[in-house]
Amino acid sequence: MCGIFAYLNYRVNRERRYILEVLFNGLRRLEYRGYDSAGICIDSCDLPTISNGERIVSSQYLNPLVFRQAGNIDSLVRSVYEEVNETDLNLEESFPVHAGIAHTRWATHGEPAPRNSHPQSSGPANEFLVVHNGVITNYEVLKETLVRHGFTFESETDTEIIPKLAKFVYDKTNEEGDQTVTFSQVIIEVMRHLEGAYALIFKSRHYPNELIACKRGSPLLLGVKDLNEEANRAFPDDKLLTKDGKPKEFFFSSDAQALVEHTRKVLVIEDGEVVHLKDGGVSILKFGCEKTKNSGGFARAASVQRALSVLEMEVEQINKGKYEHYMQKEIHEQPESLTTTMRGRLIRGGSSKAKSVLLGGLKDNLKTIRRSRRIVFIGCGTSYNAALAARPILEELSGIPVSMEIASDLLDRQAPIYREDTAVFVSQSGETADTLLALQYALENGALCVGITNTVGSAIARHTHCGVHINAGCEIGVASTKAYTSQIAVMAMMALVIGDDTISSQARRNAIIDGLVDLPNKVREVLKLDQEMKDLAKLLIAEQSLLVFGRGYNYATALEGALKVKEVALMHSEGILAGEMKHGPLALVDENLPIVVIATRDGCFSKQQSVIQQLHARKGRLIVMCSKGDASSVCPSESCRVIEVPQVEDCLQPVINVIPLQLLAYHLTVLRGHNVDQPRNLAKSVTTQ
């Protein structure tokens, strides 16, 4: 969804041009999240010449410069430099201290347009400016109140009420004239009135060279870079947040990808925290939702101490390397990402030792999981499909009923969740809004909550009782590829761990463990189909629809393959349970509609052979995916196109089978001239409902 980025340099001279490029580059690192407009705000003059205690200064020296533009970041960059040329703004002007904010917007309230882009302002003088990720659910009520107090609104957004509310609080306090209000007091009072999910960064001409960030529900991180060489070698994390007068750079971002090229020292901001950057130091206040106030009339907030953590990410991970697109890179990284996912977790003893799986994040809760009345998988989109692929093996090895829930539907129905349930929340980002709300609902109902995410320190990782990180590495393409296959591998290992106390399934378990060990090699083998999938894409480039039939383990493959084509190639595609073919979908079959049938060797193979025969009898245009050597068994005529893939254990076959469909979706998208990594209207991390 929306991307937030901010940069504050303290006691280090930076030219305006440099500051602009840092902000632009930060936004580029957030492009993959999905957006339709962008904006930035910088200072119009050198504010450090103003003493720290002075707050009443002519507005001509403090009025921030705001640039907003619909379209992509390159459009914003062009418009900024065009305006700079028209106004003769000095790009070489140097700032020892400067605070800039930036934003990519994914439209929720109001069309993509400059007036609806961020930063949103308190008014013509830009006294308060804010960038926002999330949705304010009570904005209409607040807007009505502010209108009654004389405020006028220019945008259609829910965000505009936030800076105007800040100005209202600030002006009202100054009218009373009995106290000096701090920046953090203003923002905490604003937070007290907001409902919904949000991450916010505030900038104000009344508080020059300061930034405040706060969040509730949406992700936000602080990065700190100490420019003192001795400090960098000593790595004194306990002092980096203090006002020690040393030169530093601070960065706020809604995603770690925008921070890693600057620093690996980060603070994951928690819900209810207000992080204030001032005079080279960081103060953190914890704001609760209670309405209590102190003697000055402001909501109470307690000061908290936090430690920085280290990002386990390298700059190389966020670059494309030799590939043209991130999606292409991430498809071809799957042998390595699967190896990393399983590293240290598969234990293969000698001939006298049993093979086993170790998932340290679950070991303290295994007895509780095994006693569960049922296991409930909860997710959205690709994560839901990955859980669906893993459900059969979990049921087989554990003997526990497993149910599936789309997070939004679970919440809409308020479906029963019991104390005896184990609820497993699957999310690549760990910040998916519907999944987080479902997690809160399950916690309230007393279930044991397990998280499966790709992001250390994410909201799901922090708020579940236990869990497993899939360790797939940074995934930037909006269409998930390597995270999907790593999720399946992790959930297969989870099934092995939960069913570890069943002696009768030992041979089956050993075969799966051997299959997991060899899985990266099988993935390398199936990736050799790249050119074949490109040739198939050329045949399908003009088609309007695609059907994908699967069953058993590969019903999820059908759903995921169709989703990939839909997401990036912008082509109608539908994944269908093959057992339901006669209950409606068969009416669509003719000689023109391309149909993919997944018929690899498993317990459903003979049924899929029957499906193929029935589709062929109705002159269906068939593309059959089968195990190597099975082409003659599944292809009823020479007109049928066959995709042969390596054979693995049935529960791991979805990992192999989805890769040709990922490649097909990628090549279809490129050939049709669409944006592979940022498909229309979609966002990588869906952090709003």
- Assigned token pair, 57: 């200064």
Residue 477 CA to residue 670 CA, distance in Å, equals 14
Cα 255–44–175 angle (5° rounding)?
Answer: 90
Q: Any bridge partners for residue 404, and if so which?
A: 377
Longest CA–CA span in the chain (Å) reads 88
Cα 363–367–371 angle (5° rounding)?
Answer: 145
Establish whether 2 is a catalytic residue: yes
Kindly provide the residue ranges of all beta strands, DSSP E only, lying in 511-591, ordered along the sequence.
Answer: 545-550, 572-577
What is the DSSP code (8-state) at residue 593? S
Count CB-CB contacts under 10 A for residue 671: 15
Burial category of 291 from C-beta neighbours within 10 Å (exposed 0-12, middle 13-18, buried 19 and up): exposed
For residue 374, what is the enclosing H or E element?
A: strand 374-379
DSSP string, 5-40: EEEEEEEEEEEHHHHHHHHHHHHHHTGGG--SEEEE
370 contact partners, CB below 8 Å, separation of at least 6: 398, 400, 498, 501
**Cβ pair 4, 24 in contact under 8 A:** no
Specify the amino acid at residue 137.
Answer: T
- Per-residue burial over 159-196, b = 16 or more CB atoms within 10 Å of its CB, e = otherwise: bbbbbbbbbbbbeebeeeeeeebebbbbbbbbbbbbeb
**Cβ pair 41, 1 in contact under 8 A:** no
Residue 251 CA to residue 77 CA, distance in Å, equals 20
Residue 98 CA to residue 454 CA, distance in Å, equals 34
Chain centroid to Cα 610, Å, comes to 40
Handedness of CA 257, 261, 265, 266 (dihedral sign): negative
Count CB-CB contacts under 10 A for residue 296: 10
**Active-site choice (2, 214, 380, 474):** 2
Residue 560 CA to residue 248 CA, distance in Å, equals 45
**Cβ pair 143, 194 in contact under 8 A:** no
625 contact partners, CB below 8 Å, separation of at least 6: 596, 597, 598, 599, 600, 642, 643, 644, 645, 657, 660
Residue 585 CA to residue 43 CA, distance in Å, equals 60
Which residues are catalytically annotated? 2
